[in-house]
Amino acid sequence: MSPTGSASWWPWQSSKLRMVIAHKDEVIALKEKVIAEKETQLKDLKTLMETQLKDLIAEKEKLIAEKEKLIAEKEKVIAEKETQLKDLKTLMETQLKDLIAEKEKLITEKEKLIAEKEKFIAEKETQLKDLKTHEEKLIAEKEKFIAEKETQLKDLKTEKETQLKDLKTEKETQLKDLKTLMETQLKDLIAEKEKLITEKEKLIAEQETQLKDLRSQWVQLEMQTLQELSRVKSGKSLTKGLEMFVNEHLLTVASDKKTLSMYGREVCKKLRDFGFAGKEEFVQKELENLMHEISKPLHRPHVSGKIYTGYVVGGEPPLAEALAIVISKLQECKFVQNLDVLLVDGEGKCKCVISNGDIVEYGEA
């Protein structure tokens, strides 16, 4: 029986104890394993530290050797510097002696210069005193001269004022006379201008009258010329006579087709140089109906710009070319003599002159 009186206590206690013992064994085994690992690590660490210590000792010995070498070199440099310093000291002592000697020499020269300067100053003071005396004398003379000049200037001023007053009076008189003269001349000029304007208006009126007469003469001349053509052509009518003249002298018939004659083409060619560019076939048609065309007011066109006095014909192409051909041919055939005709374009600008059967530049006829 168990101490507690239970019959099952011992087997249960035995099982639990075995578990504790087993766990304890595992812990002990694990502890031994850890101890073994730590010992291994400690051994490795010790080996590593011994190796590093050896390396450090070797490095230290190397550094000590280098340090001793540097100390030796430093002692050598110090010895050299001491030698150089000694030489430099000797040199500086020598230079110092030279400088002291030079300084003493300069002091001597300076004392000499001071003595010369004092002598120079004394001389200059004497000269300055003499110069001051001379300057005072000059100032006195200058003041006297200025006083004399002021007196002269005052007299001159009085004289000039008198002359200026007289001159002013004289100029005022002259100006008054000149003004009167200019007013008189201006009146004369105005009267002359009015007279010229009147004469100009009269001349313009006369020229307009002459122009009207000239136009009437030109109309009469046209009619006389055409009547002459009619008379020459066996007593035909005016229209028929002009038609016969055109067909005979200015047109050519070939294969039942009328074209401009060689003479008409030459005239058209000349007119092109003066800006008339009508086509020949249109000029030919104008010639065929010329009597009908010249019965219109176009053969007495408006004239723009300034032109010489004379007979004027023209208009737009091809009428201008047709008229020029007829008039030049009439002149060439001596039906019209001693009559220059001015040819104008559609804008009334004179382009050329028909003279003695030829087309010439305006101004050359």
The pLDDT score that the predictor gives to residue 210 is 59
316/286 Cα distance (integer angstroms): 12
Q: What is the mean pLDDT of residues 124-153?
A: 91
At 3, the amino acid letter reads P
Query: What is the Cβ-side half-sphere exposure of residue 340, based on CA atoms within 13 angstroms?
Result: 15
The pLDDT score that the predictor gives to residue 292 is 77
Q: Is 268 in contact with 325 (CB distance < 8 Å)?
A: yes
Percent of the chain residues topping a pLDDT of 90: 52
Which tops the pLDDT comparison, 332 or 255? 332
Strands 350-355, 341-344: pairing kind: antiparallel
Confidence category of residue 30, pLDDT binned at 50, 70, 90: very high
**Overall pTM > 0.85:** no
pLDDT at 89 over 80: yes
Secondary structure element (H or E) that encloses residue 137, with its range: helix 9-232
319/293 Cα distance (integer angstroms): 8
The pLDDT score that the predictor gives to residue 231 is 52
**Start-to-end CA span in the chain (Å):** 180
| φ/ψ of residue 110, rounded to 5 | -60, -45
Please indicate, yes or no, if residue 351 is contained in any of the structural domains: yes
Confidence category of residue 334, pLDDT binned at 50, 70, 90: confident
Q: pLDDT tens across 96-108, in order?
A: 999 999 999 999 9
Which tops the pLDDT comparison, 291 or 281? 281
Please indicate, yes or no, if residue 159 is contained in any of the structural domains: no
Please indicate, yes or no, if residue 57 is contained in any of the structural domains: no
Please indicate, yes or no, if residue 150 is contained in any of the structural domains: no
Confidence category of residue 337, pLDDT binned at 50, 70, 90: confident
Of 319, 325, 315, 326, nearest to 349 by C-alpha is 315
Q: pLDDT tens across 9-22, in order?
A: 555 567 878 888 88
Q: Is 260 in contact with 188 (CB distance < 8 Å)?
A: no
Confidence category of residue 270, pLDDT binned at 50, 70, 90: very high
What is the domain extent for residue 255? Answer: 197-361
Please indicate, yes or no, if residue 87 is contained in any of the structural domains: no
Which tops the pLDDT comparison, 219 or 329? 329
For the chain, how many structural domains are there in total?
1
Please indicate, yes or no, if residue 314 is contained in any of the structural domains: yes
